[in-house]
Amino acid sequence: MEETVSSKRHEPLPPFQTGIRGRCPRCGKGHLFKGFLTLRPACEVCGLDYSFADPADGPAFFVICFGCVPSVALAVWIEVALQAPYWVHLFTSLPFMLLTCIPPLRPLKGWLVASQYFYKAQEGELARRDRPDQIKFPSEPA
């Protein structure tokens, strides 16, 4: 009996390997995005439902920290050191800011989605004392 693609067992793929290339975190072959930052509903190869994925503002946070801050520092340095006119910033600071802020968004979002799948990350739940199937707190008697 032939095994279908969706029921086939997949080896865990590293999130960095699949995510930054925008590939499915399960099979590594299907596409993760249908637009620049829009996630597909599911993988077209293995059928993995991407509804689990919620990177929220994670990609933007990383870009702000590692892209925007150096870009603004460069613009401030150009202004203070050279007292440059606005047109110099138009041809130096603006392109540098656009190049350090926009291109990393897609690989970072893919990496975060693939990491959510790889590490089985999900929304947290508070343990309730009235549910016996919950894990006991360390301070509670057994």
Mean pLDDT of all residues in 24-30: 95
Q: Which residues contact 58 (CB under 8 A, 6 or more apart)?
A: 108, 109, 112
Number of domains composing the chain: 1
Name the strand (E) or helix (H) holding 39: none
Q: Is residue 123 part of a domain?
A: no
In a domain, 10, yes or no: no
40 in any annotated domain: yes
Q: Cα separations (Å) of 116 from 88, 109, 141?
A: 42, 11, 34
Cβ(105)–Cβ(60) under 8 Å?
yes
For residue 141, being part of any structural domain is answered with no
Entry pTM: 0.78
Residue 112 lies in a domain: yes
The pLDDT tens digits for 61-116 are 999 999 999 999 999 999 999 999 999 999 999 999 999 999 999 999 999 999 99
Q: Is residue 20 part of a domain?
A: yes
- Asked, for residue 124, whether it belongs to a domain, the answer is no
Domain assignment of residue 19, given as a range: 15-118
In a domain, 129, yes or no: no
